[in-house]
Structure 1
Amino acid sequence: MKKLFLALGLTCALSASAQDFNGYIVKLKPGYESFVNTTYADAQMRKLSFGTFAVVKEKFEGLVADPAVEYVEKNWIINLNDFSAPQSVESALTENRDEQFSKQWGLLNDGRNSGGWFSRGKAGEDINATQAWNVETGNRDLVVAVIDTGVDYTHSDLKANTWKNEGEIAGNGIDDDGNGFVDDVYGYDFANKDADPMDGHSHGTHCAGVIGARHNGTGIMGVMANVKIMSIKFLSDSGSGETIDAISSIDYAVANGAKILSNSWGGGEYSEALKESIENARDKGVLFVAAAGNSRSDNDVRSTYPANYEVENVISVGAMDGKGNRSSFSNYGQETVHVFAPGSNILSTVPGERYKKMSGTSMATPMVSGVLGLLLSKEDQLSFSEIKERIYKTAVPNATLITKAKSGRIEAYRLLNNIQN
């Protein structure tokens, strides 16, 4: 049985757990909500836009056969050990935060800023962000949800591009906009069941910076200069979470106007509830960008979820290094991974006005989310099939990647201008 994971690379490790699920997710048939409340006293109810769910502690024959129940499945746990970047990297960046763009090889690779200790990278193996910005820099009305460990929405490189729920009044204890959540000004924390999605881990803030760190002359630059980043937390500060909270997060993002969902997490067994939440996003016209995973495996042979769900709005992302090769940790799949993007040694924001380099398909995923945000800012009427075809036909057919995905390396300028191979 596979464990669930955050899509970080070699700098982190999975935390083995004796219990890899926490109770069972029960989908209820319409009209049976009150019946379940009285029959199963320990049930925790979740009313979502695409159905009503309960989480119960035990699965038993009577539950499965209950006429109120549509299906029962495990409530998977996501669990990750803490990881830390090399101290020398963090200290240097903490002392000097201005104009860090030269270190962002994923946006502009000059060969020197993308290599390791003993070797250079390959110039031009990037998303070609600088040329793309001559065409499109984003849209202040486009909402991209980062579904993760939360986001430090006070970070100086992020706060100007942070989504705020204008219909909610902070701190008054009232659901002012009637969306079912009290005081959800910056999003919601499904891990702790409160309205403050502040990141105490760093993973979500890093992903947010890749997408939309403000182009303000200090710090780093996101793929999008203009965007609204919605902060949604379902992974705790220790990096753990549950499937029921993942689907609640997706439902919240869709209901509150997100057009792109960036998901740098995955793994575990197939979940019908999670697939249904993605299908609901599809039906509302929302893209679901997902990390392909970091187990060095072929997703064509062994599925990784949610990246492997065969739903039209899912875009699965693998990670590449500064030489244009598949990152050593990245999953791949000529039929199931759609595109590769920079994912090794990616510099971005972390809580506390700091910056770090991280590696993983976690980092490649928001890179693609940002590029697709540029595309939707320019052409907002594209269908899912049109978006995917545009990716396939404009991606650079890098010889080392073309056999590892349905396309090669995503290229923002070519994508925006529909320059085909």
Structure 2
Amino acid sequence: MFVRKVVNVLCFLALASCAPSKNSSGGVTTTEPSKTNGIETCLALGKKNTNLADTSSVVPTLTTLDPNYGQYIVKYKEAKGLTPSGQPLREYHVSTMKLTSISGDLYSLQIKGTIKEKSKILAQVAAESDVDYVEPDYPIEPIPQTPAAIMPDDPYFSKQWFHSTLNSLAAWSVDEGSDEIIAAVVDTGVDYTHPDLAENMWINKDEIPNNGKDDDGNGYIDDVYGWNFTANNNDPRSSSKAPHGSHVAGLIGARGNNHVGVVGVAPKVKLMALKFMDDSGAGITSNAVRAIDYAIQKKVFLINNSWGSNRFSRTLSDAISRAAKAGILFFAAAGNGDKGVGYNIDATPWYPASYTQWNVFSVAATTIGDRLTDFSNFSKNKVDVAAPGYAIYSTVSGVSYQMMSGTSMATPIVAGLAVLVKATNPDLDPTQILNIIRESSDKLPTLQDKVRSGGRVDSYNAVMLARASKNCALQ
């Protein structure tokens, strides 16, 4: 016990003596100890989580069978043995009713008819002995983004002010990420041909491109870069009408030191493109769940989720629990409020940020002045940290770049930081990585009572704590 205490003290001293502070010009100096990271000992990281499947804190709420929707999710008690390719299971013609496989024990039920007819069908389906539950296939709303400035035609690192706030240059001197770490982007798709993204795109090595076969046997043919769950095809690119996913991907991991455009928080990473929202930026729960299950099957490190809805979905909650059981981190945007005004999601939940599984890590957005943006949602209990989310410059579809604002931008910044932490110390378990991000954040008076950590993330503090933790007896 005495030895462990000494090691922990040494770890703390090593971290404090090397942490950077910002000089008057906004740069980074490493000669003064940081006074804002709030870390006292490596014990703050906590022990390894030996029960990742524990989701006992998740208590799904009951949902009524509202007949005003046209599509529902049916959860059977046992899987019906079909692959998740979307083929019809069986089709009825009672004012047209079709049941289609989503994945495993989940099916999509489409109904047309009068309210009375749909109510009767829903009641009959829900009453079947092998049905666990039925709920609407809720629409998932895009989190609105607002272009924050006129786009310059010479995109460079200097346009990305948030890197100075995060101390990215100092962090990259410790670690730049890893090409072995996979980050899934569940969004409007990712332009895998973009010159700043192409080198960092995940490629399915178990699939032979364009041979018309499902080589890896996962139910998806020629899924080289991921999958398009909206069109049910193998082209998960974002379009120029909905470049949101490519913007998100660039913030996680646009390639660095390639003499092109911008750089992500983790210059080295593999980005998986999972498209479940269409060109209008809208999607449905069942397609989000299919994307999450795809990521689980491919054993990604994290899933970025810059989208949401104000409706609780047991189906989505169960999918997040499956990701938790697999040890996958689930980063979620806190949401952009109502009509540009953020609100407390403790009182008015926003999902998936409001789900309570251990792997859900919610992110609020801050300005260049380290204040919560006017539009950002917040919560002392449900939102973990804040990150820059205003006038954020990143990749978009085509050979293009754009500034956007939103918690949608803050979230992938934190996801990229998780990649840096994992690369710095691969022995950390998922819960310890989340603890590092929270504990290493810069504690700011403007964020007290607004986010759980009371801070805005700091990349250098985080990787230094991750490096120091190699000598901390983390069991």
TM bracket (short chain): 0.7 to 0.9
Query: How far did residue 391 of structure 1 move?
Result: 2.4
Structure 2 partner of 1:138: 177
Shift of 1:103: 1.4
Give the 5 Å matches for 1:268-307: 268-295=310-337, 296-307=342-353
Alignment-mate amino acid for residue 205 of structure 1: S
Q: How does 1:130-209 map to 2 (within 5 A)?
A: 130-200=169-239, 201-209=242-250
Q: Distance in 2 between matches of 1:390 and 1:275?
A: 25
* Counterpart residue type for residue 354 of structure 2: N
Q: Who is 1:68 aligned against?
A: 130
SS of 1:224 mapped into structure 2: coil
1:78 to 123, 131, 140: 140
2:150 maps to which residue?
89
Number of the residue aligned with 1:10: none
CA deviation map 1:204-246 (0-9, x unaligned) = 0000010111111220011111100000100001211110000
Partner of 1:213: 254
Offset at residue 385 of structure 1 (A): 3.1
- TM-superposed deviation, 1:417: 1.5
Would you say 1:24 and 2:72 are equivalent positions?
A: yes
Relative to structure 1, is the Cα distance of residues 79 and 102 closer, same or farther in structure 2, using a 3 angstrom cutoff?
same
- In 2, the alpha carbon distance for the partners of 1:258 and 1:42 equals 33
Match of 2:109 among 45, 52, 55: 55
1:27-42 correspondence to structure 2 within 5 Å: 27-30=75-78, 37-38=89-90, 42=98
Query: Which of the residues 102, 122, 127 maps onto 1:46?
Result: 102
Percentage of pairs with the same residue: 39
Q: Is the 8 A contact 1:32 1:68 kept in 2?
A: no
Change (3 A) 1:32 1:65: farther
CA change 1:334–1:79 in 2 (3 A) is: closer
Confirm or deny: 8 A CA contact 2:182 2:271 kept in the other structure. yes
1:248-304 deviations in Å (ceiling 9; x for gaps): 000001111211101100123111110111111111110000000011010111111
Counterpart of 2:207 in structure 1: which amino acid?
Answer: E
- Kept in 2: contact 1:26–1:56 (CA 8 A): no
Do the aligned partners of 1:199 and 1:351 also contact (CA within 8 Å) in 2?
A: yes
Whether the 8 Å contact between 1:158 and 1:209 is mirrored in structure 2 is yes
- Aligned with 2:138: secondary structure? strand
Structure number with bigger Rg: 2
Task: Give the Å deviation of 1:372.
Answer: 0.4
Give SS of 2:266's match.
coil
CA distance in 1 between partners of 2:68 and 2:150 (Å)? 34
Indicate yes or no: 2:302 matched with 1:260.
Answer: yes
Residue 289 of structure 2: aligned partner = 247
Deviations 1:90-141 (A, max 9, x none): 3x22xx23xx111111111xxxxxxxxxxxxxxxxx2211111011100001
Per-residue deviation, 1:32: 5.3
Aligned positions of 1:105-116 closer than 5 A = 105-108=161-164
Aligned to 2:48: none
Task: Confirm or deny: 8 A CA contact 1:172 1:183 kept in the other structure.
Answer: yes
Partner SS state of residue 290, structure 1: strand
Secondary structure (helix, strand or coil) at the match of 1:143 reads strand
Q: Secondary structure at the match of 1:406?
A: coil
Partner of residue 13, structure 1? none
Aligned equivalent of 1:237: 279
Aligned counterpart for 1:388 among listed residues 418, 423, 434:
434
Matched letter for residue 386 of structure 2: F
Whether the aligned pair in 2 keeps the contact of 1:76 and 1:268 (CA below 8 Å) is no
Quick check: 1:22–1:76 contact (8 Å CA) kept in 2? no
Moved more, 22-31 or 329-338: 22-31
Q: Letter of the 2:159 partner, please give it.
A: K
Equivalent in 437, 443, 462 of residue 415 of structure 1: 462
Q: Distance between the aligned counterparts of 1:20 and 1:367, measured in 2?
A: 38
Aligned residues, how many?
Answer: 376
Q: Give the Å deviation of 1:39.
A: 7.7
- Per the TM alignment, residue 142 of structure 1 is displaced from its structure 2 partner at its CA by 0.4
Q: 2:445 aligns with which of 399, 402, 408?
A: 399
2:255–2:268: 8 Å Cα contact kept in structure 1?
yes
Q: In structure 2, what is the equivalent of residue 373 of structure 1?
A: 419
Supply the AA of the counterpart residue of 1:210.
Answer: L
Secondary structure, in 3 states, of the residue corresponding to 2:163?
A: coil
1:135–1:286 CA distance, 2 compared to 1 (3 A): same
Distance 2:281 2:185 in 1: 15
CA contact (8 A) 2:142 2:308 kept: no
Aligned Cα root-mean-square deviation (Å): 2.2
